[in-house]
Amino acid sequence: MNLNEVTVIIPALNEEQALPLVLRDLPPVGVVIVVDNGSTDGTAEVAARAGAVVVHEPRRGYGSACLRGLAKIEQRTLAGEPPPRVVVFVDADHSDHADLLPQLVTPIFEGRADMVLGSRILGEREPGAMPPAAYFGNHLACFLMRLLFGARFTDLGPFRAIDYAKLRELAMCDTNYGWTIEMQIKAVRAGLRWLEIPVPYRRRVGQSKISGTVSGVVKVGSKILWTIARYGLKGTRK
């Protein structure tokens, strides 16, 4: 396993305090791309000081930031840099244990999986790390995916690794809260080999922009259910 063949994408919005902790925890990899999603604090500056490649995506949305990170990989590849073997996504709020990256990428390097998800449900969760509404919504989404697609996922967690060539074939397009579930649904439909591994999950640093507010929970839940309906009930593939 060669971690130099791994690129990490970290979407970040006003994570000046938490981001240095995430970057500190990451093992040495080929490239770390921090996507500043319109921050008004020093997120971009602390990322640059830590040696990350910083790109800016002013259009708000988790999916928008992830797509911008993938576009940066394409740009670097066109400029002559070798493409990564594996892409890892991790949140910037220090809720994920970025030091566990080798556990996520190992099954891909060993040819046992195309996508590996870090399951917070199978792992140990710090009290308060996943609010009840988020926990319920996660279970509901996974139940509906099992019902409609036959995929027995336990989580929609953001900490995940995927073969880069396979990821490109998925043609990801969601620009906000549906990104993670879009990837899982498309991976199942494309016949990708996937597995989940238990990962611990802790309370984030700072206030959540989603689960910390009622409106955030409603928006996320609505988008996830809409995404499931789009791909499952309507049979849309793109």
| CATH assignment of the domain containing 41 | 3.90.550.10
Asked if 106 contacts 157 with a C-beta cutoff of 8 angstroms, the reply is no
C-alpha span between 62 and 225 (Å, rounded): 17
C-alpha span between 189 and 184 (Å, rounded): 9
Average pLDDT on 156-163 reads 97
Please give the residue that has the higher pLDDT: either 224 or 51. Answer: 51
Backbone angles phi, psi at 210, to 5 degrees: -120, -70
Reply yes or no on whether the pLDDT at 211 is more than 70: no
Is the residue at 175 inside a domain? yes
Sign of the torsion formed by the C-alpha atoms of 60, 62, 65 and 70: negative
Mean pLDDT (the chain) is: 91
Least confident of 58-67, 129-138, 214-223: 214-223
Is the residue at 53 inside a domain? yes
Per DSSP, the three-state class of 180 is helix
Is the residue at 238 inside a domain? no
Asked if 28 contacts 51 with a C-beta cutoff of 8 angstroms, the reply is no
Is the residue at 49 inside a domain? yes
What pLDDT is stored for residue 234 in this prediction? 58
Reply yes or no on whether the pLDDT at 225 is more than 80: no
Per DSSP, the three-state class of 63 is helix
Reply yes or no on whether the pLDDT at 209 is more than 60: no
What pLDDT is stored for residue 215 in this prediction? 57
What pLDDT is stored for residue 201 in this prediction? 97
In order, the DSSP letters of 88-156 are: EE--SSS-S-GGGHHHHHHHHHTTS-SEEEEETTTS-B-TTSS-HHHHHHHHHHHHHHHHHH-------
Amino acid identity, position 93: D
Backbone angles phi, psi at 109, to 5 degrees: -65, -30
Domain enclosing residue 33, as ranges:
3-233
What pLDDT is stored for residue 27 in this prediction? 98
Least confident of 25-29, 71-75, 136-140, 194-198: 136-140
Q: How many domains does the chain have?
A: 1
Split at pLDDT 50, 70, 90, the class of 132 is confident
Reply yes or no on whether the pLDDT at 10 is more than 90: yes
Reply yes or no on whether the pLDDT at 90 is more than 70: yes
Express each pLDDT in 163-206 by its tens digit: 999 999 999 999 988 999 999 999 999 999 999 999 999 999 97
What pLDDT is stored for residue 216 in this prediction? 57
Please give the share of the chain, as a percent, with pLDDT higher than 70: 91
Give me the sheet containing 115-119, strands edge to edge: 53-56, 31-36, 6-12, 86-89, 160-163, 115-119, 194-198
- Integer-rounded Cα Rg, in Å, for the chain is 17
